[in-house]
């Protein structure tokens, strides 16, 4: 059961950024509970499908918040290993290096260390998730026309944190016995973005082999 993994023991106590909560009693909270229940059945392909009669934007919004929280926790467990010294550039293996730009505060991509990059990235995502005009939490408030493109950018960037953890910090993940947790979370993420075609294949290249390995058993 995925939801119980996230609540067990000390794991959930250390997040990188504050957790983003979906208000209890809201429709989105119901959707999140539905997602957790279907995840519990173990069938990830089924779990990511749009529930009948639901709004695609809302389903993508709820899951995007959930992935932010999951990655927030996973990265939170390894922040001691991801330092200016160990990771002077934000990379996913030798072939992939990421430079940060958000289009508003930092318009021209800057080269920075992985911890700095991930701090920028997670703060940027947090700001998007907290923006009621982009991620409305109130019933009846419509999603903006550009919602899908915003969600795609968020997910594309969150993927980079998984890619960095897998390429640069897999040893501590194993030592911390977080490997199954990381794999389950990433597999869920990949099935989700594949189901709705949310991340360009080129962007997924740094983890292509792993993606094939994780998804081939469930075709």
What pLDDT is recorded for position 108?
92
Annotated binding residue 82: yes
Give the chain's domains with CATH numbers: 67-216 (1.20.140.30)
pLDDT of residue 137: 83
Residue 167 annotated as part of some ligand binding site: no
Whole-model pTM: value is: 0.90
The closest of 190, 118, 213 to 160, measured between CA atoms, is 118
Mean pLDDT, each 10-residue run in order, the chain (219 residues): 39 74 88 86 87 95 96 95 96 95 89 96 96 88 95 98 97 94 95 97 96 79
Question: Residue 5: what pLDDT?
Answer: 40
| pLDDT for 141 | 86
């Amino acid at each position: 059961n995925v939801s119980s993994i996230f609540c067990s023991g000390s794991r959930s106590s250390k997040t990188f950024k504050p957790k983003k909560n979906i208000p209890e009693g809201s429709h989105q909270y119901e959707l999140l509970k539905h997602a957790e229940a279907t995840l519990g059945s173990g069938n990830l392909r089924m779990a990511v499908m749009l529930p009948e009669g639901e709004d695609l934007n809302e389903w993508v919004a709820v899951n995007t918040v959930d992935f932010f929280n999951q990655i927030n926790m996973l990265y939170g467990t390894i922040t001691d290993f991801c330092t200016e010294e160990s990771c002077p550039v934000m990379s996913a293996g030798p072939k992939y290096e990421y430079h940060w730009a958000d289009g508003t505060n930092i318009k021209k991509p800057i080269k920075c260390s992985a911890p700095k990059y991930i701090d920028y990235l997670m703060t940027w995502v947090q700001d998007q998730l907290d923006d009621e005009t982009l991620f409305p939490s109130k019933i009846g408030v419509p999603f903006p026309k550009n919602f899908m493109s915003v969600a795609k950018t968020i997910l594309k960037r969150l993927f980079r944190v998984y890619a960095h953890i897998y390429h640069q910090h897999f040893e501590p993940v194993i030592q911390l016995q977080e490997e199954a947790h990381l794999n389950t979370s990433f597999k869920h993420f990949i099935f989700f973005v594949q189901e709705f075609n949310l991340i360009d294949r080129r962007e997924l290249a740094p983890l292509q082999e792993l993606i094939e390995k994780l998804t081939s058993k469930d075709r």
